[in-house]
A and B are shown apart, each in its own frame.
Chain A
Amino acid sequence: MAEVRLEQAEKRFGDVTAVTGIDLTIHDGEFVVLLGPTGAGKTTTLRLVAGLEMPDHGRVSIGGRDATPLSPMERNVAFVFQQYSLYPHLSVYDNLAFPLRSPTRRVDEATIRHAVERVAKLLRIEQKLQNRATRLSGGEMQRVAIGRALVRSPSIFLMDEPLSSLDAKLRAELRLELKHIQQDLGATVLYVSHDQTEAMTMANRIGVLDHGRLVQIGSPREIYESPRNIYVATRLGMPSINLLPLSAFPSHPAPTGTRTIGARTEHVAIARGNGGAHARVEWVEHLGDQNHLHLAIGEHKLVTLVDPDLDLSVGDAVDIALQQPLYFDADGERIGG
């Protein structure tokens, strides 16, 4: 395992700037998750680290060594691709053994067998070892793809939404499993996800990408509690942060320059309406342990979580009190951050 560093990395495809000015250090043994909407440059960032793309500017270093001129083979990274990850003409066993059979590694077959079986057991695909790679369900394929990365000890694991095609249960299990494996191995991981639960639970740090730029990087708490701007704030939180103009809360004391208030569930205190009520219940979604409460404040909407015990129904008037919400200026930057 090694420290991996991107310095001012930029990659363009014709007119499209896929990523630009990326400064990112993934410390040895660290788990960094990249978050961002589609097209933000997440895959491109991984490919730059892997050496599948050459940066137009900037450097990539692995373990303190400049890796920019090195081929993918020489970088010793493992990559779990977003799609098309398995060699369709090989069995599951041969897929898992493939990296170890590389001419540069020269591992004997007994060791390979041992490694493959260990990984297969870990990912619960022992029964499938003799299957053709094409004769697998989507989830099994993805586990084999992860397994192919785990059979060797690369300098960094690059994972591009490896759990995206799994069902919720398996996803939750493998999320835990992957995190344990990473901790046991002390592995360095750069992981792309759309799923904020994955990001929150697995990451040591989360990097948020927007249009090819790394907008903010920090611990999950930092990203959640102190987002740099509106864009970052909307990446995390279920239900997602409510963005309301200051005018919706005329009596709320906000710092000067505030244009928008960002209110997460924990920033919103709900009380059954008395005289000063200015919100109305529009809809209640029952999630079991909690309820989603949809409120209307004038023409603005607000969604928050409430205790099912709070017996509210459609049409009720409620009072809203904001408790230390986030304030954003006219450019969407957070004030007091």
Chain B
Amino acid sequence: MSGASTAHSVVEPSAATKRIAAFLVILYAVITMVPLAWIFATAWKTPPDSIAYPPKVVFDPSLEGYCNLFTTRSRQTQDYIAELGPPQGTCDTVTRQREMVIVGPSNYVPRFINSLIIAFGSTFLAVSLGVFAAYAFSRFKIPLKDDLLFFILSTRMMPPIAVAIPIYLMYREVGLSDSALGMILLYTAVNVSLAVWLLKGFIDEIPREYEEAAMIDGYTRLQAFFKVVLPQAATGIAATSIFSLIFAWNEYAFAVLLTSGTAQTAPPFIPTIIGEGGMDWPAVGAGTTLFLIPVVVFTVLLRKHLLRGITFGAVRK
């Protein structure tokens, strides 16, 4: 073993190690980025290009995907189209080239708005409830504390699909099926367990002396919580919010089962975008591309906190 002693320092990896690490990271990034890049590209193809074989890597970009995403169209005769006035904007032109006319907006925007309301609403609720519960678990003597915490975690162990049917029946009874409130409550319930566990870790790291100092300085425990604990838990709150939002934003199984109309979210909606003769892949690509934006923006906004946050509070002195 003595012959294997290394010249470089223990903390600083050697140049070769760094190169290998960089190579692996880049390789992984490329592998995960390819499907995404394919989706972005598909959004800019025409429907025939999107299903061409062999697949087209080079193609003429077209707005048809985005136009189809936001509109519903109906086929008309060439004579009918010829009698219409000049086309109103790009989408009108693109649509008419396919011998179709735009008859109205699609459901994408309302579904997207549903997703926003449900995902952000449930994230807000889950993190708010989670931070109070985590504080209580962190600071107070609670009978059966460990069992309660385990119970909370265990709610995450079941696959969603196992409880989907009972929830569906329950929701139908109480009139929550296909309602935004129902989905918010459901996602909150799922996320709150994650929130409690993550946030408890962060709050455990905040020394009690801060709150104690605040209480001595003339604040109630609740005021001290808001003035002292919350600002210091910002890292954890940001990280937890992002994890919760990503779950609620992307959730498919419950959404497809429990929503169909007014409260439908984008994930079950996007695969239902069907053009003539099968899936309208460019529209699906466009819908997926736009669907990624809110989570990316949210994550970028909170990135500074997240980078510290994903070490799970270990960075505090």
Known: A98-B217, A99-B217, A99-B218. A81 touches B231 (CB 8 A): no
B217 and A71 contact, CB distance less than 8 A: no
Segment of A20-28, A100-108, A135-143, A194-202 engaged in the interface with chain B? A100-108
A79 and B228 contact, CB distance less than 8 A: no
B215 and A73 contact, CB distance less than 8 A: yes
A103 to B207, CA, bound (A): 23
B223 and A148 contact, CB distance less than 8 A: no
A88 and B232 contact, CB distance less than 8 A: yes
Instruction: Give how many B residues have a beta carbon under 8 Å from the other chain's beta carbons.
Output: 17
A320 at the interface (CB under 8 A from B): no
B274 at the interface (CB under 8 A from A): no
B298 at the interface (CB under 8 A from A): no
Interface SS majority for chain A: loop
A102 and B219 contact, CB distance less than 8 A: yes
A78 to B220, CA, bound (A): 15
A283 at the interface (CB under 8 A from B): no
A105 and B218 contact, CB distance less than 8 A: yes
B213 and A73 contact, CB distance less than 8 A: no
A83 and B210 contact, CB distance less than 8 A: no
Encoded as 1 (CB less than 8 Å from any B CB) or 0, chain A from 56 to 93 comes to 00000000000000011101111101011101110000
Interface hits, B198-219 → A, CB 8 Å: 207, 209-210, 212-219
A-B contact pairs, 15 of them (CB 8 A): A50-B212, A52-B216, A72-B216, A75-B216, A76-B218, A81-B213, A85-B213, A87-B210, A87-B213, A87-B228, A99-B217, A102-B217, A103-B219, A103-B223, A104-B219
Specify which chain B residues have a CB less than 8 angstroms from the CB of A77 in the assembled complex: 216
A89 and B216 contact, CB distance less than 8 A: no
A252 to B267, CA, bound (A): 97
Closest to B223 in A: A103
A148 to B213, CA, bound (A): 10
Q: Between A and B, how many residue pairs show CB distances below 8 Å?
A: 57
A79 and B231 contact, CB distance less than 8 A: no
A79 to B219, CA, bound (A): 14
Encoded as 1 (CB less than 8 Å from any B CB) or 0, chain A from 133 to 176 comes to 00000000000000010000000000000000000000000000
Min C-beta distance of A211 to chain B, whole Å: 24
Task: Please list the residues of chain A having a beta carbon within 8 angstroms of any beta carbon in chain B.
Answer: 50, 52, 71-73, 75-79, 81, 83-85, 87-89, 98-99, 102-105, 148
A71 and B209 contact, CB distance less than 8 A: no
B215 and A71 contact, CB distance less than 8 A: yes
Min C-beta distance of A68 to chain B, whole Å: 16
B212 and A72 contact, CB distance less than 8 A: yes
B218 and A85 contact, CB distance less than 8 A: no
Q: Given known contacts A52-B212, A77-B216, A83-B207, what 8 new A-B pairs fall within 8 Å (CB)? A: A50-B212, A72-B216, A75-B216, A79-B212, A87-B210, A89-B231, A99-B217, A102-B219
A73 to B217, CA, bound (A): 7
Specify which chain A residues have a CB less than 8 angstroms from the CB of B216 in the assembled complex: 50, 52, 72-73, 75, 77-79
Interface centre among B207, B218, B227 (most CB of A within 10 A): B218
Min C-beta distance of B305 to chain A, whole Å: 13
B215 and A84 contact, CB distance less than 8 A: no
A294 to B220, CA, bound (A): 57
Encoded as 1 (CB less than 8 Å from any A CB) or 0, chain B from 48 to 63 comes to 0000000000000000
A77 to B213, CA, bound (A): 10
Encoded as 1 (CB less than 8 Å from any A CB) or 0, chain B from 177 to 213 comes to 0000000000000000000000000000001011011
Known: A84-B207, A84-B210. A89 touches B215 (CB 8 A): no
A78 to B216, CA, bound (A): 6
Specify which chain A residues have a CB less than 8 angstroms from the CB of B228 in the assembled complex: 87
Min C-beta distance of A91 to chain B, whole Å: 13
